[in-house]
Amino acid sequence: MTQAPSPQGLQLSPIVAGAWRMADWGLDAGQRLRWIEQALDLGITSFDHADIYGDYAVEALFGEALAAQPALRARLQLVTKCGIKLVSARRPGHAIKSYDSSRAHVQASVEASLRALRTDHIDLLLIHRPDALMDPDELADTFQGLRAAGKVLHFGVSNHSPSQLALLNRRLPLATNQIELSPLHLDALSDGTLDQCLDLGLRPMIWSPLAGGRLFTADDAQAQRVRAVLEALGRAHGVSAATVAYAWILRHPSRPLPITGSQRREALQEAVAALSLRLSAEDWYRVWEASAGQPVP
């Protein structure tokens, strides 16, 4: 599996392993290490985090596992996010849930993530949610300082609109926008988000590519229509419906980077298998039509 370069030289694997739910998996440090190793064995070298995941616990769980085999650090890329402040016993200074992209908060968040992940640098740092009080000049300057110090190599955003990304990107070139996209969530296809990624040459990272599992568990009409099409295409291509869902995302010309969210090796394998499946345009639109509930206009 070849890595996917960004215009800024960032190298990520075409499938990214998401650690969001790691605190719920009930794994000991050795089992967490084996999860990291099995992802690497499949060619998945990029791991997605956020400071808030697991009530501010997941980065430390990952870091503890990685510390058992520190040589693995050179083989992988660590992505993390900051900017959301949750009310938590682990963050007693947070009075309400809010967003914070100030210099002080971003710098403090990076230091905390470096300690938790037990690393000397973060490969990619994202601002997790748009902050209405963001000062783009201050934030760009903060990013440049972190890069100069060698603490963060690349920067991006998550869940930002095209105008919000452009505001920061004009001051400091960004590497990605991490967004939601799945056969049940089509907004990024029509709201300009993916158009902007194509225009700027950014490869979007995709969270919840299987709609948080709703593709295979929800009973609403949309999910049933989409599931039927995915299953039919899976039978035609000899792969699982999940692999087809990943292939549907990968078919977009912005060359998205889907993030898995599972501890199961089989789930990681289904995502990797999609790299070998290129859907026809008609098959792609069959999935779109099932989701939209109508033919294209």
Q: Give 99's strand partners.
A: 84
Q: Give 82's strand partners.
A: 127
In the residue annotation, 53 being an active-site residue is answered as yes
List, by residue number, the catalytic residues.
53
